[in-house]
Amino acid sequence: MDIYALHELLDDWFLKVWNHRPHGGLRDLMHPENKLTPYQMFAAASRLTSNLETTFTGDDYIAMLPTMYRHVTDTGVTINYRQFDAEGLDPLRNTKSDLRRRNGRHEVKLDPYNPVKAWVADPKGGWIECTVRNEDALFYPHLEDNDFTLTDAETDRGDVAAVTAALAGAPLHTAIESTPNLPSTDPTDPTDDDDDDVIYVLD
């Protein structure tokens, strides 16, 4: 058993046993013979004092996110095979934190419902917001560039259909936009400049 497992067992013992056990140092002022548990004393004190309501800030939300510990390298921090980086990490790159139990790794928060953001604890206080590298590739993994449009896709499909129909000898069910310019067979056509009488037969 390591020290972390022992710490969790101690927390469970405090919550389930110690806080429910009457203690000699916690007594009812009106009836000193009655011992109170920590939970009973907390409930009695809550009736005499009001609760202080505070605003839930963004840092409070980040502090409640799942915690992990990572090294800050030249490319940022790696979480679930993704690289997160920000300019604010420059002072922390290739440095060790003050967390000796974590082998110098820095505290990192990750929102499981927002895979493009991560927060690294700032030694000066607060959090450094980092963005996943190659964010476009995360959401559009099969596109080579951002100029890809639906019109390009339709054009590609049309070209493939035309080649396939030509190879199979099947008619292509699309409107014919243009036809080849064939010589006129009308002898009265003024555009026929050829003096020879040539008859064109169309199959």
pLDDT per residue as tens digits for the range 139-179: 666 655 555 454 555 566 677 777 677 777 666 555 444 44
- Is the pLDDT at 203 greater than 50, yes or no? no
- Is the pLDDT at 6 greater than 70, yes or no? yes
Question: What average pLDDT score do residues 70-89 get?
Answer: 92
**Alpha carbons 72 and 84: distance in angstroms, whole number:** 10
Neighbours of 171 (CB within 10 A): 7
Nearest Cα to 129, choosing from 97, 183, 99, 87? 87
Collect all residues with Cβ–Cβ distance below 8 Å to 106 and sequence separation of at least 6: 69, 70, 71, 72, 77, 92, 97, 99, 120, 121
The DSSP secondary-structure symbol of 30 reads: S
* The two structure tokens encoding residue 57: 């800030």
pTM here is 0.47
* Residue 200: per-residue pLDDT: 44
Whether the CB-CB separation of 107 and 147 falls below 8 Å is answered with no
